[in-house]
Structures are given as structure tokens and as C-alpha cells.
Amino acid sequence: MAKVRRKKTPKSSNKKTKKTSENKEDILILGIVLVLILIATFTFYFIQTNDSEDEVVAIVNGEKITEQELDFWYELSVFPEHRDAIKEDDFLVMSLIPQKIIEQEADKENIIASEEDIEKLVGLFVIENGLSLEEFEERLKERDTTIDDVKKSFESRVLAAKLFEKKGFGTNPNQGLFFDFADEKVQDYVNGLIDNAVIELFPENIEKLDISGFEDTGDELCDEEMPIVRLFTTSSCEICGESGALFQDSIIKFLVEEKVYARHWSLDTGDNLLSVEKEKGIPQEEAALFKKYSPNNKVPLIVVGCKYKRIGKFTNEQIAEFEAIINSISGG
């Protein structure tokens, strides 16, 4: 099985990989290598990414995929009417990561994409779309891109085709370098590469949250088996009772889905109100988190995975944001 890891929260990443629905599979009819179709429309523009300035959404066998790369390929490959069914995180796992793994395997096999190979593939693409080269270049010009930029984009496709050919997967003579990626043997081979890859996901960098009711602490996710959502209250606090009830109602579905752990600490009684047992005191490390994120000892305090916090009354107005934050840090 693939060695899939997530920054600070490794347990929940596997669940995200497995949740693909039949509807998503229909949309991504070519399966795990949809992105290798490339240029589905003439909206392509070639971009250079800078890892030092862009958030990392995944690391595949030590090689980074940035947020900029993901955004670009997602907008290119998934049409707007399909984006409700397949989100960026699904696309990352189902398409972009497999593409990266195929490119890495081609490099191991010393496979290169020659200029001749790339030009052949571009030519086949232009012909299949019923265009002349002049018409194709004109459309690219309208998109502020050039034929040389497009040639660069076809390099991954050539590498994949040559790799598959070397591994004995035949092609239809009329297809040239256009492989049938839905072929069972091809998919089995690529699945094997994925299973042996070391993949680290950073879901919190995929979709930036627009938060107003919570505050970003500036900290990374706590180094815990799963993200922990904590509420700190006191029995004498007037607004804590209502906040606590709403917190517990909101968190229950995430506990059932095993996306997070949750604790509701009553500071004056030392009890975790979400557990069956009655605790006799708050663990030292939990008390330290309260002091860190509420230096003035104000309650109620909600701390989500050490990365987000809210001090003050928790109301219905914050529920949607609260749930979005939990989905963000738990990968779904």
C-alpha cells in the first residue's frame, strides 16, 4: 500500500484517497492520469513555479507539488460544471500525483522526450481537433501563449507513452503516442508505482480558508495522531454553557467519521465533559495549551488542532466556519 503521509496528522490522509465516488470516476473517465490528456481546450499557458514562494500541497518521493501547480492543472483539466463533484484535493490524489510518479519512473529508466517526439504529438493533437497549424497558433496567441510553450506541456505525455511502451504496453498504430489510459494493464502498472511511492499530503495548503470568527494562531498542526479539537470552559462562566452545548452538537459528526478527536475541558472541575469517565484534573500539557492560546485566561476558548482558535462565545454564526476549518485540517 502506498506510504501516504500527512504533515502532522498522518492518520486521516488515507481516508481521503479512498473516498472517490462513482460520480467522480465517471467524470475522470480516463482514471488516474486525466491530467496527461493536457490541452483539452486552448486555455493553456506555461508557468514556472517557485517552491520557495509557494505553498506545498504534496511531496511525492521527495519532490514537491506546489499550490500554484495544482491550481493551474485543476483549472485546465476539470471543467467548471464538474468542480462540485471533484474537488482540488481529489484531483491532486487522482491525477497530479500519479503524473508526478510516472515522470519520476521515466527518469529512473533514463527516458527522455525528444523534440521530434513532442512535435509529433502536437501535430497529432492539432489534426484531431480539425485545425491547421496556423489556426492552432492563432488560438494560442489569443491566450497569450506560444507553440513553444505548448510543446513543453506535452513533454509529460511523451514520457508516459515511452515508459509504457518500454514496459510492454502496446499502442494502436493509428494512435501514435496516444495510449488508452483506461487499459487495465496500464492502470495496474501505475497503481503499483503509486503503492510503492512515499506521498505526503498537506491539505491545509490546498484551499485557503476565509475566516472571520476564528483566528489563525500561526502554529503548525499539533503533532498528534489525528487533529484534536479542544474547548475550554468553566462551570461558572455564563456563556460557556450555551457555547459548550453548541460545540458538542457540532463536533459529533466529525467524531463519528473519525476525522478528529475532541475534548471539552472544564477548567475548574478538571473534567473532560466529552468522556464517560470523570477526570480528576486537566493534564499538564492540556493546561499549557490553554495558557498559550488564552494568555489572559479568558473562556470559552476553542482550539482547533493548535492551528486555529476562538476566544469568546461560540454561536450558530460560527458553525459553518468551524466545520470548514475541521474539514481543512482533516483532509475532507
Of 103, 128, 118, the C-alpha closest to 154 is 118
CA 205, CA 60: separation in Å to the nearest integer?
15
Does residue 277 have a pLDDT over 50?
A: yes
CA 47, CA 53: separation in Å to the nearest integer?
14
CA 308, CA 98: separation in Å to the nearest integer?
32
Q: Which amino acid is it at 245?
A: A
Which CATH class, in words, describes the domain spanning 3-204?
mainly alpha
Summarised one tens digit per residue, pLDDT across range 176-216 is 444 555 678 888 888 899 999 999 988 778 876 778 999 99
Q: Which residues contact 76 (CB under 8 A, 6 or more apart)?
A: 38, 40, 41, 43, 44
Backbone angles phi, psi at 311, to 5 degrees: -110, 125
Mean pLDDT for 303-322 is: 96
- Cα 224 to the center of its chain, rounded Å: 19
pLDDT at 47: 35
Q: Give the CATH number of domain 215-330.
A: 3.40.30.10
Summarised one tens digit per residue, pLDDT across range 35-54 is 444 433 333 333 343 444 57
Does residue 134 have a pLDDT over 50?
A: yes
Sequence ranges of the domains in the chain: 3-204, 215-330
Of the pLDDT bands very low, low, confident and very high (cuts 50, 70, 90), residue 144 is: low
Of 70, 83, 107, 92, the C-alpha closest to 23 is 83
